[in-house]
Amino acid sequence: MHRWTDPSQTPGSLRPSVATFGNFDGVHRGHQAVLGRLVAEGSARGVPAVAVTFDPHPAAIFAPEHGLELITPGPLRDDLLATTGIDGLLVLDFTREFAEQTAEEFVVRTFVETLGVEALVVGADTRGFGRGYTGDVETLRGLGEQHGFDVIVLEDLGEAERWSSSAVRRHLTAGEVAEAAAILGRPHRMTGTVVHGAHRGRELGYPTANLSDDALGLVPADGVYAGWLTRTTLGPQEPDRTLPCAVSVGTNPTFDGTLRTVEAYVLDRTDLDLYDERVTVEFVEHIRPTLRFDSVDELLEAMAGDVETCRRVLASIVPS
């Protein structure tokens, strides 16, 4: 996948094309359906498939006070998009000036002039683009007729609920990681560097890998989770690349902690030195909420139970 940010530097090999656009936060199953249809359409027409997205997320410009937490901040999103089979990813710098374009100006400049688009593939809920948030599917259809490109619209998808980024965020902030995974099509993940913590886990016999404060990915609700830790610097076939773990999110209230951390204990392993490694932690199932225990002995008993539960949960699951 070729990734670029300057429309004027669009490779000739990526035009004409078929295209889609959106924020793609989470790259969930709804996004995957659109991107899968995009790739199929490109193959049928013999042209490349290109996705157009934005950085930063428009909410960071127009509603920073809401503090929208992204499921998959830019690098995570782009890595996931690269796995979908698209040929190109144009990441546009989203500014207030950029947002002043009318819907027509955005479509013509980006898709007609830059990408020579033959077809746009979008979801039925595509709306709110262009100045005044006026653009929608009908806008695209009208512009398609005017400028000679097709518009292919996929209906909303979902099973128990509509697949959407907002639904994923809602589940994660409630600690419902299995429900979030059902929409994402994979466990939710965070990626960061392993840093030194208070070393209490090691002292208690459960050494943990603490993710750095700048780790990427939405932090789910405080609690204990069964999950996987992947050492991203190791090759896919190398031993100890992906390991079962118990993940703790919270402030360690038993020790009167105030700093919220994400730390993973690799089940039954005390021999690993992961400091300064880049790792990915996946959240498979919520085990229990974060609790304050009256003694270290009570905490140790709970941790032993957590490890056994995580072992049982992960025993029949193949890591993604």
Q: Which residues form the catalytic set?
A: 263
CA 195, distance to chain mean position in Å, is 22
Q: Alpha-carbon distance 287 to 94, whole Å?
A: 39
291 vs 254: CA distance, rounded Å = 8
Supply the DSSP string of 191-255, one letter for each residue. Answer: EEEEE----HHHHTT---EEEPTT-BS----SEEEEEEEEETTS-TTSTTSEEEEEEEEE--GGG
Do residues 175 and 221 make contact, with C-beta atoms less than 8 angstroms apart? yes
Q: Which residues contact 258 (CB under 8 A, 6 or more apart)?
A: 251
Find the angle CA(220)-CA(155)-CA(102) to the nearest 5 degrees.
Answer: 85
Coil, strand or helix at 267: coil
| Sheet of strand 17-21: strand arrangement | 2-4, 88-93, 49-55, 17-21, 117-123, 150-154
Separation of alpha carbons 210 and 207, rounded Å = 9
CA dist 64 → 60, 68, 320 (Å): 5, 7, 33
Q: What amino acid is encoded at 54 in this protein?
A: F
Report the distance separating Cα 53 and Cα 1, nearest Å: 14
Q: What is the DSSP letter of 52?
A: E
Please give the structure tokens belonging to residue 262.
Answer: 């994400």
* Identity of residue 307: V
Residue 231: strand pairing partners:
279
